[in-house]
Structure 1
Amino acid sequence: MTLPPRRRPETQLLQYYVYSEVENTALEIVDEYVYLGHTIQLGRSNFEKEVNRRIQLGWAAFGKLRAIFSSEIPQCLKTKVFEQCVLPVMTYGSETWSLTMGLIRRLRVTQRAMERAMLGVSLRDRIRNVEIRRRTKVTDIAQRVAKLKWQWAGHIVRRKDGRWGPKVLEWQPRTGKRSVGRPPTRWTDDIKRVAGSRWIQAAQNRGTWNSLQKTYVQQWTSIG
């Protein structure tokens, strides 16, 4: 690994760029990177940028289909288009998110704005969210995200093919000094609130795991 020259003092900034070489090509080491359509970032709030990106991509997909959503076709067809073309874009990779109430609320606010656009109404019309959902009949994005994560959690812990997914769940970091402040939300925290600390053992039984899914989904769909 080599370090490029330090910037000159007149820039008033001392920035360091670390590079590694692969086949004589310099690769910059960065704090975040988009891999397989998913933003990978280390540190606290490491899923906020990915959620923001999912929201932007969701609006882009919605915009491409705006002619359909604003047309006079039956609402049931608009709902099918939304759930097949927009909702998957917004929830792509959500199985790996450390869910928080803040992230879920932001996703639901975005979905409600899209639902109002489909119905041709605005916030000034003062129509309750329950009524809007009754008209659109779209799947609640919080429900979809929770189901995807719960199913994925059970799937990876039941694997017996030696893949790295189950190993990562049981990995313990090196002992070191904890950073100041509240510990960041971990991927398993919300799962343990429903299935307990021995959730990996519980997930081995598909029947038991599926019976707990409703409770897990309900805790996220009850968020306003």
Structure 2
Amino acid sequence: MWIQNQQRHDRHGVCPPPAPGKVSRTKQRILCKFVDLTKAFDTVSRTGLWLILERLGCPPKFLQMVIQLHENQCGKVRISGDLSEPFSISNGVKQGGVLAPTLFSIFFSMMLKQANENCEDEDGIYIRYRLDGSLFNLRRLQAHTKTNERLIRDLLFADDAALVAHTEQALQRLTSCFADASRLFGLEISLKKTEVLHQPAPQEAYHPPHITINSSELKSTPQFTYLGCTISSDARLDKEIDNRLARANSSFGRLYKRVWNNKSLKIKTKIQVYRAVVLTTLLYGSETWVTYSSNIRLLERLHQRCLRTILKIHWSDLVTNVEVLEPAEIPSIEALIAKSQLRWAGHVFRMKDHRLPKIVW
């Protein structure tokens, strides 16, 4: 079922958030609506889900097993140590269950299929791509005969959804179709948490878009945190770098007494903790970053300060940055970012040609 239509798998597969620096190179405006569904996993219509599985060709015996796993389900509420009377649970998939993510993805994919049937051809973003030739030769995309186009209307991960378009009118149509399909499938959009972001084209003035759902205007925001990464209206990486620095600095500070200033721990152990806790926080999502020298300097400054604290190196010792990295056996931030980007590039390059991450990368 999933092999025949890999597009659905691409939607819910691993794909980092769009890199702010790459967006500005397209020289086109992008409008994005970040949808928040109210208790998405808990409000799935089980009757509708069983019908969808049956129409998709799910074997009857397996379907019956899935149904039985969700039958006669009850719950209780604990209040101040006391349990309420049991009540039946007739909607939703079991959060934490092995089947829950797959069942929700199938249900959500059918809802999106219903929503896209009423959209127009220009609603969304067309990605021009070419898979032959040198991977890093961008001039090959200027050809008119050897390139292909792929329409992208939504970016999805689990129950997080983002609708994208080039114009405000197209995004409004996508929003209306998505809202109608959500209502039809029993899902509810949280109007308070759903926000719209506008990234204007170069030399274009910024203005907040006006997108509505059932006559209620959605909040327009200059920046939004999507899958842990900050996406800004100016299509720059500065706010994301500031966010990474603040989080990494906080993680380092919380472990000062317990780890960094603990004399019973070896330096090697402290470095391992630093790699696992601080560096992973600092460089989260760096696979898709388009960095400038100013960004690298800020990251390197925190990297050096943390290592000097761990190694007990004072500024008066006159130790260079290169000499700090050698005993710690850790590369510079610039090298770590390059390593992560090359690793991600290899992963994407080995994907099949029809996979969405490979096309948009």
Q: Same fold (TM over 0.5)?
A: yes
- Counterpart CA distance in 1 for 2:313 and 2:325 is 13
Which has more radius of gyration? 2
Residue 28 (structure 1) shift? 1.4
Residue 115 (structure 1) shift? 0.9
TM-score, normalised by the number of residues in structure 1: 0.61
Aligned equivalent of 2:278: 86
- Counterpart CA distance in 2 for 1:85 and 1:77 is 12
Residue 118 (structure 1) shift? 1.2
Aligned equivalent of 2:151: none
Aligned equivalent of 1:141: 333
The one-character-per-residue Cα deviations of 1:174-209 (angstroms, maximum 9, x if unpaired) are: xxxxxxxxxxxxxxxxxxxxxxxxxxxxxxxxxxxx
- Counterpart CA distance in 1 for 2:214 and 2:228 is 25
Query: Which structure features the higher share of helix residues?
Result: 1
- Read off the aligned partner of 2:290 and give its amino acid letter: S
Residue 125 (structure 1) shift? 3.0
TM-score, normalised by the number of residues in structure 2: 0.39
Higher relative contact order (CA 8 A, sep 6+): 2
The partner residue of 1:57 within 235, 247, 255 is 247
Aligned equivalent of 1:173: none
Aligned equivalent of 2:303: 111
| Residue ranges of structure 2 left out of the alignment (5+ in a row) | 1-171, 173-206
Aligned equivalent of 1:33: 224
Q: Is the 1:47–1:97 contact (alpha carbons within 8 Å) kept by the matching residues of 2?
A: yes
1:116-195 alignment runs, 5 A limit: 116-160=308-352, 162-169=354-361
Q: Is the 1:87–1:141 contact (alpha carbons within 8 Å) kept by the matching residues of 2?
A: no
Residue 112 (structure 1) shift? 0.2
- Counterpart CA distance in 1 for 2:289 and 2:354 is 23
- Counterpart CA distance in 2 for 1:136 and 1:128 is 13
Q: Secondary structure at the match of 1:85?
A: helix
- Read off the aligned partner of 2:254 and give its amino acid letter: K
Q: Is the 1:17–1:28 contact (alpha carbons within 8 Å) kept by the matching residues of 2?
A: no
Q: Secondary structure at the match of 1:86?
A: helix
The one-character-per-residue Cα deviations of 1:74-132 (angstroms, maximum 9, x if unpaired) are: 10010010011111001100011113222222211110011111123332332222332
Q: Secondary structure at the match of 1:134?
A: helix
- Counterpart CA distance in 1 for 2:228 and 2:277 is 16
- RMSD between aligned residues: 2.4
- Counterpart CA distance in 2 for 1:138 and 1:157 is 27
Count how many residue pairs are aligned between Structure 1 and Structure 2.
Answer: 155
- Counterpart CA distance in 2 for 1:123 and 1:25 is 57
- Read off the aligned partner of 1:60 and give its amino acid letter: S
The partner residue of 2:237 within 47, 51, 58 is 47
- Counterpart CA distance in 2 for 1:35 and 1:115 is 30
